[in-house]
Amino acid sequence: MKTRVTELLGTRYPIVQGGMQWVGLAEMAAGVANAGGLGMLTGLSQPTPEALAAEIDRCRSMTDQPFGVNMTIFPTIKPPPYAEYIDVIIDKGVKVVETAGNKAVDFMPKMKAAGIKIIHKCVAVRHALSAEKLGVDAISIDGFECAGHPGEEDIPGLVLIPAAARVLKVPVIASGGIGDGRGMAAALVLGAEGINMGTRFCATQEAPIHENIKRALLQASERDTNLIFRSLKNTARVLKNTVSDEVVATERRPGGCDFAEIRPLVAGTRGKAALDAGDPQGGIITAGMVVGLIDDIPTCAELLERMVAECHQRLGAASGYFA
């Protein structure tokens, strides 16, 4: 395939693996890269900048294809040493970075000066336009269906993707709710020049998570996600389980709740422990509505080849509707 996204990234297919906490390790990124997409290491899955440097080296030992690093940068009380992580990315010669968060702008000039291509993830068109003015190379636009944080405006991809594509000059990468060739075809028709997937890649052979978690994604329907942190104006879409059900119930109590009340339920260490132990009910597990479209656990290569073939077939079939 050839789009501005494949040309920008140097990949065979315009398919990007999104940054996923605890999942975006070398096995995942290399698996996607070897299959023809852009694999993505999640920078903050590594506890230190030095650990990220080692993970970049490990990924390079598994693939000779392009891969990038995701850096989500938000202002926090005790922020990680973001500047040191960025320095590692530059020093290691990484060519693509996926950024998210409103403080990513602070590091964009340094990355651009180093020749890094920046994909910035947004959930609103106005934010995408601001990022474009700052010089990012592509926008990953995240619809309401997505896993993780869809924003507070609840705009689904069917509207958000063309709304972004009609005003942006840089390539648009559609994210959220895409898990097969039909979704890929739809995204391209809506004006995107590539797609981003997270949840679907979790249900692959290469994903470095417990088989029980992969099976839970396989068994889930499109109705099996919860929106947590809704009352706190920091909405996140996660897999429906006993923990996320309890969070939602707590938030819906009369008068709502403070974050301190749900902190033990949503702690990142608890979620990581659930992923590692293979306990689908043990903690918060990020997942998008696309779980309803997952029917198997293929290799990354099998998934991408099938998706591209199905995308081609669906676009051809649709063109045949005109007499």
| 213, 226, 259 from 218: Cα distances, Å | 9, 16, 31
pLDDT band with cut points at 50, 70 and 90 for residue 102: confident
- Asked if residue 172 lies in contact with residue 165, where contact means CB atoms within 8 angstroms, the answer is yes
> What's the confidence (pLDDT) of residue 195?
98
Per-residue model confidence (pLDDT) at position 75: 81
User: What distance in Å separates the CA atoms of residue 297 and residue 119, rounded to the nearest whole number?
Assistant: 28
Residue 22: C-alpha distances to residues 43, 74, 218 (Å): 10, 18, 19
Where are the domain boundaries for CATH 3.20.20.70 in the chain?
4-206+299-319
What pLDDT, on a 0 to 100 scale, did the predictor assign at position 214? 98
Q: Which two tokens stand for residue 157?
A: 């991809």
The pLDDT assigned to 92 comes to 98
Integer Cα distance of 143 and 294 in angstroms = 18
Q: Class for domain 4-206+299-319, per CATH?
A: alpha beta
Q: What is the rounded CA–CA span in Å between residue 174 and residue 143?
A: 8
Residue 182 in contact with residue 315, Cβ under 8 Å?
no
In whole angstroms, what is the distance from residue 143 CA to residue 161 CA? Answer: 8
- Model pLDDT for residues 60-70, shown as the tens digit of each residue: 999 999 999 99
DSSP string, 96-136: EEEEESTTGGGGHHHHHHTT-EEEEEESSHHHHHHHHHTT-
Q: For residues 28 and 41, what is the distance between their CA atoms, to the nearest angstrom? A: 8
pLDDT exceeds cutoff 90 at 284: yes
Mean pLDDT estimate for the chain: 97
Q: Residue 247 has which token pair?
A: 């969070």
25-34 confidence digits (pLDDT tens):
999 999 999 9
| 140-144, long-range: CB < 8 A, 24+ apart | 140/16, 140/18, 140/98, 140/173, 140/174, 140/175, 140/196, 141/172, 141/173, 141/174, 141/175, 141/192, 142/175, 142/176, 142/196, 143/174, 143/175, 143/176, 143/177, 144/176
Residue type, 22: W
Q: How far, in Å, CA of 265 to CA of 308, rounded?
A: 39
pLDDT of 323 over the 90 cut: no
How far is residue 156's CA from residue 162's CA, in Å, rounded to a whole number? 11
pLDDT of residue 117: 98
Share of the chain above pLDDT 70, in %: 100
- Average pLDDT of span 240-267: 96
Taking only the tens place, the pLDDT of each residue in 166-220 is 999 999 999 999 999 999 999 999 999 999 999 999 999 999 999 999 999 999 9
Report the pLDDT value the prediction gives residue 133, as an integer from 0 to 100. 97
Q: How confident is the model at residue 147 (pLDDT cuts 50, 70, 90)?
A: very high
